[in-house]
Structure 1
């Protein structure tokens, strides 16, 4: 098979959560364990760092990978979903895996397809582990797909377990309270392995404490050891002054991911680095400072408050739940613009009403959808939005909406595209 044939086979033959939602979610780790067993358990052949959380886990994964690369470690990175190219999910030192590897892997693992009937995500996890083992990486940063306890990635024994935060998302699978969601995310905490919590609230703290105690895992709340004292912008970089509470030291970092929500992610990353240093990993302050300036270049991360165009400014962000949208609105308060043109689209299983209730009624709206079965119809979205006083036109695809927004916008306006990773992925500009 060609690479195109292989991708078509994977997309068409395997149930994908991104396309069909909960029907593709497998509620145990049996398939992943059997797939990896057939590959001689590649996940046992490299060190790893495991990252879960409602928001921020993608950014934390990429930032941490950039730091490890800069410190001289051969670093694997597994994230999902991808934006433009399937191979974005599996990288080593920022370079995507080869097309040949994907073709060969799919051919090799095909006998398992009929026997196990795995999901798309289960296959991609096994694929990533095999690639990292073949590439003989020093460490792989592994981002969970959904939840933690039953996530396909949760068969690794990592150096660290990291949970960025807990918010309401995928409630139909993970539970309808913060405590229930935290319980699922806490499933990545392993016996005697340090667990880092990026952000914690009253409802989630005891959940993490219980999980860590059961596993005899050292539990570290990052916010207690680092905090951002001040931040501003410098040449489209986020400039953050961070206080190291343990050492009573102040350090300034420039980050090429300018969203203010990265101030929370920096704290999580710095605690992770500290814990790695305690384990003997050779990571110095200059490695951190150098890496943060070029995360996008080193890892290929996109879609986090990313400016695609000037005059008018066009920005994309993959915020897709209420907590993410709240952070986006905080960012907008720092921006200078005349009018806001908001292009939005969501998948059906999000809490749309909660998100719509947060959005500003003064913006010009362009309702649209990603081209996948899970996407909420743009006319239906426009109807739901109208109840909240949000008015605008609807469009069958995001690029038609973007074209209209750019035509209507003045040079001083801001065009923002958000609401779905898949929507952002389809933007052509």
Structure 2
């Protein structure tokens, strides 16, 4: 076993990891993060940042922003979570993942402090990312919130701007059981005097953001009031979208290499954020933005968002995993022609599966499965819940077995959709 793999094993085994064990890994203050960063001479204060939160779309939005800054010639850090195939996907500069030897050296350097501070996996990863960005002297880093906002480990930065994509039900046991309470947690990333963009206005949550921004004397922008989608169409792996800038009455035609219809909402937030950065003096041209948004996957390595991995049968991976995310995925299905639909799906235990399963189509064949992590929901229980909701299919002990079965049963004109959690998509890939 090499040093990098040994380091990862150490991190996974020693540190509580939310993606594996759930709420037990969630820390309710920033104490550990602040302590770790102090040991490292506060690297997060040595580069500029953009902070991106929200329930759904924050990963896609982070990657789009990073792509635009990169295209404009800035050395751009990008911190996101979770990863799909390799831990190092979480920490990138100009699309390139952090080197293995940095991960090893950083962990070795902090090993005695890890044992005394006892950080979570996420807290240590945030410190690692900020250390790497500072060491490599990035011009700016796009930092995606892990969970919530107010108490998230990333919430030690004072960014150039904050972007909050949307609010929907997720992690209710930790963030609250109303949209207003969840919005209050997400609004915790709004900093005094720092502008904030809300991608998607919602009657239940707008006032939370307006009042928080007013209290912090922060300018607030609702992107869907600044932009209007004039037309959009999906062609293969691309989406052609024309937007009206309602302030300047100008049309912007874009070709996105992210073909999920739900990217319409995300791109409006990104465009509003980029406009603020331009006003702050960042040299980002319209051409930079157009080029970047047509090559987000290539520039930043984004995967798992309505990702077409083969054509016959059409096979799509999407990391949509909560009620709002699955709803968007199901709406996207309406734009696709196929003979029969095969859905490979699985969830983690703390998702409200009883609210999600009724959103799935009844006329598909289901392959219920379980990712290889302690938080994963039992596949037999999931299949029983599926049957109770009129979904017909079988249970499979692993994602690979389920995906293999779907590929065996699907005909060339059929469609296979893999969704339900990051971990289901990761194991299928």
Bin for the TM-score computed over the shorter chain:
over 0.9
Question: What's the counterpart of residue 247 of structure 2?
Answer: 246
Question: What's the counterpart of residue 330 of structure 1?
Answer: 331
Q: CA deviation at 1:255?
A: 0.6
Question: What's the counterpart of residue 386 of structure 1?
Answer: 387
Question: What's the counterpart of residue 364 of structure 2?
Answer: 363
- 2:296 & 2:396 partners in 1: Cα distance? 34
- 2:71 & 2:261 partners in 1: Cα distance? 24
- SS where residue 124 of structure 2 aligns? helix
Q: CA deviation at 1:427?
A: 1.1
- 1:421 & 1:332 partners in 2: Cα distance? 19
- 2:30 & 2:415 partners in 1: Cα distance? 44
1:67–1:292 Cα contact (<8 Å) kept: yes
- SS where residue 428 of structure 2 aligns? coil
- SS where residue 355 of structure 2 aligns? helix
2:146–2:152 Cα contact (<8 Å) kept: yes
- SS where residue 105 of structure 1 aligns? helix
2:318–2:418 Cα contact (<8 Å) kept: yes
Question: What's the counterpart of residue 67 of structure 1?
Answer: 68
Q: CA deviation at 1:260?
A: 0.4
- 2:257 & 2:322 partners in 1: Cα distance? 23
- SS where residue 334 of structure 2 aligns? helix
- 1:225 & 1:257 partners in 2: Cα distance? 22
- SS where residue 229 of structure 1 aligns? strand
- 2:235 & 2:396 partners in 1: Cα distance? 36
- 1:14 & 1:331 partners in 2: Cα distance? 38
Question: What's the counterpart of residue 296 of structure 1?
Answer: 297
- 1:237 & 1:362 partners in 2: Cα distance? 27
Does residue 1:191 correspond to 2:195, yes or no?
Answer: no
Task: Compare 234-243 and 249-258 and name the one that shifted more.
Answer: 234-243
* Residues 27-426 of structure 1 aligned to structure 2 (within 5 Å): 27-426=28-427
Unaligned runs of 5+ in 1: none
1:346–1:352 Cα contact (<8 Å) kept: yes
Q: CA deviation at 1:234?
A: 3.5
- 2:318 & 2:228 partners in 1: Cα distance? 24
2:236–2:259 Cα contact (<8 Å) kept: no
- 2:40 & 2:250 partners in 1: Cα distance? 47
- 2:311 & 2:234 partners in 1: Cα distance? 17
Q: CA deviation at 1:111?
A: 2.0
User: Taking structure 1 as the reference length, what is the TM-score of the superposition?
Assistant: 0.99
- 2:294 & 2:51 partners in 1: Cα distance? 23
Q: CA deviation at 1:233?
A: 2.4
1:238–1:255 Cα contact (<8 Å) kept: yes
- SS where residue 335 of structure 1 aligns? coil
- 2:284 & 2:141 partners in 1: Cα distance? 16
Q: CA deviation at 1:235?
A: 4.8
- 1:401 & 1:114 partners in 2: Cα distance? 40
- 2:284 & 2:247 partners in 1: Cα distance? 17
Q: CA deviation at 1:236?
A: 2.5
2:78–2:91 Cα contact (<8 Å) kept: yes
- 1:200 & 1:47 partners in 2: Cα distance? 27
- 2:364 & 2:207 partners in 1: Cα distance? 40
Unaligned runs of 5+ in 2: none
- SS where residue 276 of structure 1 aligns? helix
The root-mean-square deviation of aligned C-alpha atoms, in Å, is 0.8
Q: Give aligned pairs, total.
A: 428
- SS where residue 77 of structure 2 aligns? strand
CA offsets 1:390-429 (integer angstroms, 9 cap, x no match):
110111111111111111111111000000001100114x
Q: CA deviation at 1:188?
A: 0.1
CA offsets 1:52-101 (integer angstroms, 9 cap, x no match):
00000000000000000000000000000000000000000000010110
- SS where residue 325 of structure 1 aligns? helix
- 1:45 & 1:370 partners in 2: Cα distance? 39
- SS where residue 392 of structure 1 aligns? strand
1:170–1:349 Cα contact (<8 Å) kept: yes
- 1:202 & 1:258 partners in 2: Cα distance? 27
Task: Compare 225-234 and 18-27 and name the one that shifted more.
Answer: 225-234
1:166–1:200 Cα contact (<8 Å) kept: no
